[in-house]
Amino acid sequence: MKKALITGITGQDGSYLAELLLEKGYKVSGMVRRSSVENYERVEHIREKLNFVQGDLTDQSSLDEAIKEIMPDEVYNLAAQSFVPTSWNQPVLTADVTGLGVTRILEAIRKHKSDTKFYQASSSEMFGKVQEIPQTEKTSFYPRSPYGVAKVYGHWITVNYRESYNIFACSGILFNHESPRRGLEFVTRKVTHTVAKIKLGLAKELRMGNMEAKRDWGFAGDYIYAMWLMLQQDQPDDYVIATGETHSVQQLVNIAFDCVGLNAKDYVVTDPKFLRPAEVDLLIGSSEKAKKKLGWTPSVSFEKLIEMMVKEDISLLNQNKVRH
Ligand code: NAP
Ligand code: F7E
């Protein structure tokens, strides 16, 4: 039975990855932070099947202990301060968790179980002010937020530990991926949740920032499968994971309102509060390498993804529930 450790198991991707690894027969452990309230909402349905260890990416000794205790065959480092606007508000914390945290977990692996296979959650935010269209594994990075800068550090330290210590370390450069489990502050979920509330008479307007920004949005369930595939290869490598399509925030909003038979123009209010100090205007990735080497392709279209999220938000609200 293979053993896996997932950092960030309570997050969107962590919960989907935990499900996949359980299905594949792994013994799955997840690292969780101590909190005054429990935060297992996304993994509640599989909680009994998981092993939890307490730890934090800012704390070396907890990472050392986690690796020594579990002796994992595979580590998926999904934990991060992942919300871009917060990275301007808490730039040092973001660097510590999202950047240096990668070195800490790599150090724990190097010291205690150097044959562990390692996955690093790199991000299309590293491309920022894009130097090439579409973006590939060879495109230069130009991050536009403290989050993006921290992810560039995490990416290169992963490459460096692979080259310095021969660790089987892979970096997945994942473009935006969403699901009904997406945090409420990210734009897709903010839109689908608010549209669902408007439809049910629970909200009157949708306050938005930059409607012109374009993203390459896919379904999280497809993307976590690519993470697993990377660690099943003979050689470690880095891969772009994307749909190859780009849509504006305005298109996202229009599709979400169309799903409930309402007109976006009647409800959207632009609010400067949601504008960023520096923006990533356009992202569109090419995952040709992943297609060729991993046999990976996305299965859910943008329209279907938004429809799935709107429907799930309506269903939850009808049960007086909110998934955070
Ligand atoms: P998410 O929902 O925000 O989950 C982040 C996870 O990290 C949560 O489990 C959180 O724990 C944990 N965490 C935060 N700070 C931590 C710390 N100091 N120590 C230990 N754990 C900590 O993020 P996601 O969307 O699943 O994304 C997973 C990873 O992929 C992240 O690294 C993100 O930056 C990266 N990524 C995401 C996307 C995307 O579009 N979703 C694209 C590219 C890359 P709590 O539950 O306790 O807060
Ligand atoms: O913003 C615009 C905003 O916060 C997308 C993270 O998972 O993906 C995510 O980062 C776009 C931006 O995601 C609002 O200005 C307009 O252009 O959903 P988001 P993100 O910043 O792209 C990458 C790949 C990651 O790695 C990150 O961890 O939408 N936008 N109005 C808005 N965004 C938000 N959040 N809220 C608004 O009201």
Residue 32 belongs to domain with CATH number: 3.40.50.720
Our answer on whether the CB atom of 165 is closer than 6 Å to any ligand 2 atom is: no
Closest CA to 21 of 52, 46, 53, 54: 46
Our answer on whether the CB atom of 213 is closer than 6 Å to any ligand 2 atom is: yes
| pLDDT bucket at 10, cuts 50 / 70 / 90 | very high
Judged by its nearest atom, the ligand closest to the C-alpha of residue 13 is 1
Collapsed DSSP state (helix, strand, coil) of residue 215: strand
Our answer on whether the CB atom of 312 is closer than 6 Å to any ligand 1 atom is: no
**What per-residue confidence (pLDDT) applies to 321?**
82
The answer to whether residue 289 is domain-embedded is no
The answer to whether residue 294 is domain-embedded is no
Closest CA to 49 of 75, 27, 71: 27
Q: Which residues of 150-163 are buried (b: 16+ CB within 10 A; e: fewer)?
A: bbbbbbbbbbebbe
**What per-residue confidence (pLDDT) applies to 324?**
76
Contacts of 260 (CB under 8 A, 6+ apart): 195, 196, 198, 199, 310, 314
The answer to whether residue 83 is domain-embedded is yes
**Ligand 1 atom closest to residue 14's alpha carbon, by position in its atom list:** 26
**What per-residue confidence (pLDDT) applies to 126?**
99
**What per-residue confidence (pLDDT) applies to 287?**
98
Q: Mean pLDDT throughout 185-208?
A: 98
Query: For residue range 29-76, what is the model confidence (pLDDT) as tens digits?
Result: 999 999 999 999 999 999 999 999 999 999 999 999 999 999 999 999
Query: For residue range 116-153, what is the model confidence (pLDDT) as tens digits?
Result: 999 999 999 999 999 999 999 999 999 999 999 999 99
**Ligand 2 atom closest to residue 271's alpha carbon, by position in its atom list:** 38
**Ligand 2 atom closest to residue 210's alpha carbon, by position in its atom list:** 16
The answer to whether residue 290 is domain-embedded is no
**What per-residue confidence (pLDDT) applies to 322?**
77
Asked whether residue 146 falls in the same domain as residue 163, the answer is: yes
Query: For residue range 255-281, what is the model confidence (pLDDT) as tens digits?
Result: 999 999 999 999 999 999 999 999 999
Is 270 within 8 Å of 209 (Cβ atoms)?
A: yes
Q: Which of 26, 76, 119, 147 is catalytic?
A: 147
Closest CA to 78 of 173, 23, 6, 143: 6
Query: In the annotation, is 301 catalytic?
Result: no
Our answer on whether the CB atom of 287 is closer than 6 Å to any ligand 1 atom is: no
Query: For residue range 93-113, what is the model confidence (pLDDT) as tens digits?
Result: 999 999 999 999 999 999 999
Q: Mean pLDDT throughout 73-99?
A: 99
Asked whether residue 151 falls in the same domain as residue 274, the answer is: no
For helices 302-318 and 249-259, the axis angle rounded to 10 degrees is 50
How many other CB atoms are there within 10 angstroms of residue 274's CB atom?
A: 13
Our answer on whether the CB atom of 123 is closer than 6 Å to any ligand 2 atom is: yes
Asked whether residue 231 falls in the same domain as residue 84, the answer is: yes
- Domain enclosing residue 194, as ranges: 183-216+246-283+300-323
Our answer on whether the CB atom of 212 is closer than 6 Å to any ligand 2 atom is: no
Asked whether residue 201 falls in the same domain as residue 221, the answer is: no
Asked whether residue 234 falls in the same domain as residue 267, the answer is: no
Query: For residue range 207-239, what is the model confidence (pLDDT) as tens digits?
Result: 999 999 999 999 999 999 999 999 999 999 999
> CA–CA separation, 280 vs 248, rounded Å?
12
The domain total for the chain is: 2
> CA–CA separation, 174 vs 125, rounded Å?
9
> CA–CA separation, 302 vs 310, rounded Å?
12
Asked whether the bond before 298 is cis by omega within 30 degrees of 0, the reply is no
Q: Which of 16, 76, 82, 125 is catalytic?
A: 125
Nearest CA to ligand 2 atom 34: 187
Our answer on whether the CB atom of 10 is closer than 6 Å to any ligand 1 atom is: yes
The terminus-to-terminus CA distance of the chain in angstroms comes to 33
> CA–CA separation, 159 vs 170, rounded Å?
8
- Assessment of whether the complete model's pTM goes beyond 0.85: yes
Distance 186 CA to ligand 2 centre (A): 6
**What per-residue confidence (pLDDT) applies to 323?**
76
Collapsed DSSP state (helix, strand, coil) of residue 137: coil
Q: The domain spanning residue 279 has which CATH number?
A: 3.90.25.10
Query: In the annotation, is 123 catalytic?
Result: yes
The answer to whether residue 131 is domain-embedded is yes
| pLDDT bucket at 1, cuts 50 / 70 / 90 | very high
Judged by its nearest atom, the ligand closest to the C-alpha of residue 5 is 1
The answer to whether residue 293 is domain-embedded is no
Query: In the annotation, is 125 catalytic?
Result: yes
Q: Mean pLDDT throughout 242-259?
A: 98
Asked whether residue 208 falls in the same domain as residue 153, the answer is: no
**39 alpha-carbon distance from chain centroid:** 17
**What per-residue confidence (pLDDT) applies to 241?**
99
Is 167 within 8 Å of 113 (Cβ atoms)?
A: no
Collapsed DSSP state (helix, strand, coil) of residue 249: helix
Residue that the structure tokens 């909190």 belong to: 35
Judged by its nearest atom, the ligand closest to the C-alpha of residue 174 is 1
Asked whether residue 134 falls in the same domain as residue 204, the answer is: no
Pairing label, strands 74-77, 51-54: unpaired
